[in-house]
Each structure stands twice: as C-alpha cells, then as structure tokens.
Amino acid sequence: MKFRIFASKSNYLAIASPTMNTQFTIRPAKPEEAGLVLEFIKKLAVYEKCAHEVVADDATIYHSLFVERSAEVVFAEEDGEVVGFALFFHNFSTFVGRKGLYLEDLFILPEKRGRGYGKALLKYLAKLAVERNCGRMEWICLDWNKPALSVYRSIGAVPMDEWTVQRLDEEALKKFAAEENIMKVFRYQTPEGFDDLLMYTDGEVLTGLLFEGSRDEHKQLSNAVEMQQSASQPTIISDTCRWLDTYFSGRQPDFTPAYRMDGLTPFRKAVLDIVVGIPFGQTMTYGEIAKQLKVNSAQAVGGAVGWNPISLIVPCHRVIGAKGYITGYGGGIPNKIALLKLEGSLMI
C-alpha cells in the first residue's frame, strides 16, 4: 500500500511527540555508522519476512549513502541508545512540478514501540520536507502491517489504493537492459519471382522490412539475430506476415502493422508521408513529389525515398523516374519490377 502526505501544516503538525520522561533525539547517521545502518535494514527485513532479500553489505551502504549520497539516514536515540532509523531520498512529481521526500525505510526496535518514536521520526521528516520545499512525502507499507497503517491514518496519510508498485529486480533489470539493443530478424518466404524478405523488430514494432541481399541491410543493427519462425514469435511479426500474405495475393491489406523509423528527419518524413499515400496499383515520379513539396531537387527526393527502411508497407517501389523509367531501388531493380507487375501498374 502506498501513502502520501502533502506538505501542508495541517497534516504534519498533527503528529504526536514521544513521551517526555526520557532523553530522545533524532540525528543524521555518520559515515562510520554504515554497519549500524545495515544492521537496522536487516532488522526491518526480518520484521517484514524478507530477510533473504537483503544482499547489501557495509561497503555498498557506505558508498551509496556517504559517497554517492543516493539517500539519507537519520537515527532515533533514547538516552544515547539508537532505537530506530529512517532512510529517505528525494523523488520528483511531474504533476506538482516539485521534488518530494520518499521514505524508503522506517523501523523502531520492537521493545521501544508504543512511545511515539515512529511518529516523531515521521514528524521530523515532514518538517524537513517542508523546509526543502517538497510537494509531498510518500512511502509504501505492507498491507498486513495494521499497527503501522493505524499510525499513518492518524497523521493524515492518504492510501493510494489505485496505484500498484512495479519492480524490476536486478536480474530482470539486467536482462531487459541487455535485450533493449538486440534486434531480431525473421525471414518471410516470398512467392516465386521475389527475393525473400527480412523483418526486423525490437519485439514491439517493425523497424525494418528489406529484401534479402539488398543494399539496404546496413540500415539495421549489425548485431541483429536471425530467429526461426515459431508459434511464440512476437505479435508484430505475425501481423507483418499476415499483411504480406494479403499483399502477395494481389490485394492491398486493410490494416498496417505498427512500425518505427529511427533517424527520420523532417524532410524524409515529408517525402515518405507522400509515398505512403500512393495507392495500390499506381505510381508517382520523383519530380511529382518534389513539385508537391515545392522543392527543386528530384534527386533529394530520391535520397529520402532510398532511405526508407520499411519496404512495401511504405511503398517506395511505386516511385519511378520521369517518363516511366524504372530507376534505382534498394531492394534491387528485379524486385521493383516484380512488385509493380503484381500491382498491375507495369505491363511488361
């Protein structure tokens, strides 16, 4: 469960103070106390039934808190004895437009509970948040921790029940980060008369659709890994295959697979927006596109058309030279001719 306190006096002043029959102080942790910080982290983990998840050691705590300064820690002391701690750092709210204070850990020794020390730590942090011009203060709480939930309700904390915490642990994080730059390529077997097509994807969208052996293959990542067709292939590949099946049957598909073009300059986009609009079975010359864009260079248009990494779906094969000449095509002139014949726009 996630809680939020907004930085307003009406909230934090309602927090009770600890009992006054002892000397109670709250102070920042010192660099030489990294081991003590870790000790309290482990005590909290035991209480929350997740001690097996603690992999930090003294060195990592020291480096994170006192070298990188990724977070801050304060200790609560009773008559000079450390009885609790709080670990916190700043986050940021785009909605509020200001930083916030995020409470990662708060723990009071079991034998010292019921004396107001937890509330005192919360009040200390609330005041600190206001002093630092934070828009709010947030933390999460296990839904079975009823004593803590009761305290949080009493100080005005609002449960954010509509939110759920999402987490990538270290293993999942590294796996996802490593996969992010791996481009997968699948082969589509075309009908006789065409070279096979290579479908490139990042797993979510199509990033390339090129004839095999074409001069355009350099447009895709050099570390692309060719995959075998299978029932577990990405949805985008299944969609692209379905689009190609329809296209090579001699019909214009009634849907478009999701695709992305990296490195799309404003001029390339302007040219390819026109290319996408050329109907099935029709053609347009480089000069006609240049005229529509009010530019003087058909050659510049040719460069933008030739850059296109999504063949067929963005039908650059429908762009021809003046007087109907079949000019350069990254996928090869034979494939361009075959595509135009398939669409019925080239009668030779």
**Same structural domain, 219 and 336:** yes
Query: 251 in a domain, yes or no?
Result: yes
Cβ distance 240 to 200 under 8 Å? no
Which residue segment(s) compose the domain that 316 sits in?
184-343
Does any domain span residue 269?
A: yes
128 and 208 fall within a common domain: no
User: What pLDDT is attached to residue 242?
Assistant: 97
pLDDT at 46: 96
Residue for token pair 């075309």: 190
The predicted pLDDT at position 302 comes to 92
- Residue where one domain finishes, among candidates 108, 124, 159: 159
- Number of domains the chain contains: 2
Q: Identify whether residues 94 and 212 lie together within a single domain.
A: no
196 and 54 part of one domain: no
Active-site hit among 134, 141, 241, 316 = 316
Instruction: State the distance between the two ends of the chain, measured CA to CA, in whole angstroms.
Output: 70
Residues 85 and 149 in one domain: yes
215 lies in the same domain as 310? yes
The letter for the amino acid at 68 is: E
Measured CA to CA, the distance from residue 177 to residue 172 in angstroms comes to 8
Q: What pLDDT does 174 receive?
A: 85
CATH number, residue 30? 3.40.630.30
Asked if residues 139 and 3 have their Cβ atoms less than 8 Å apart, the reply is: yes
* CB-based contact 47:72 (threshold 8 Å): no
**Do residue 68 and residue 147 come from a single domain?**
yes
Tell whether 94 and 204 lie within a shared domain: no
Q: Are residues 51 and 149 in the same domain?
A: yes
Please report whether residue 202 resides in a domain: yes
Q: Which residues contact 207 (CB under 8 A, 6 or more apart)?
A: 183, 200, 201, 220, 259, 260, 261, 262, 309
Give pLDDT, residue 22.
79
Active site residue 316: yes
Is residue 178 in a domain?
Answer: no
pLDDT at position 243 is 97
Q: What is the pLDDT along the chain (348 residues), one digit of tens a residue?
A: 444 444 444 333 333 344 556 799 999 999 999 999 999 999 999 999 999 999 999 999 999 999 999 999 999 999 999 999 999 999 999 999 999 999 999 999 999 999 999 999 999 999 999 999 999 999 999 989 898 999 999 999 989 888 888 989 888 888 877 765 577 899 999 999 999 999 999 889 999 999 988 765 555 545 555 565 555 689 999 999 999 999 999 999 999 999 999 888 999 999 999 999 999 999 999 999 999 999 988 899 999 999 999 999 999 999 999 888 898 888 999 999 999 999 998 755
Q: What CATH number is given to the structural domain containing 230?
A: 1.10.10.10
Q: Kindly provide the residue ranges of all beta strands, DSSP E only, lying in the chain, ordered along the sequence.
A: 2-6, 24-28, 72-78, 81-93, 98-108, 136-140, 158-159, 184-188, 197-201, 206-211, 225-227, 284-285, 319-320
Query: 188 and 293 share a domain?
Result: yes
Tell me if 258 is assigned to some domain.
yes
Strands 158-159 and 136-140, how do they pair?
Answer: unpaired
Q: Is residue 242 part of a domain?
A: yes
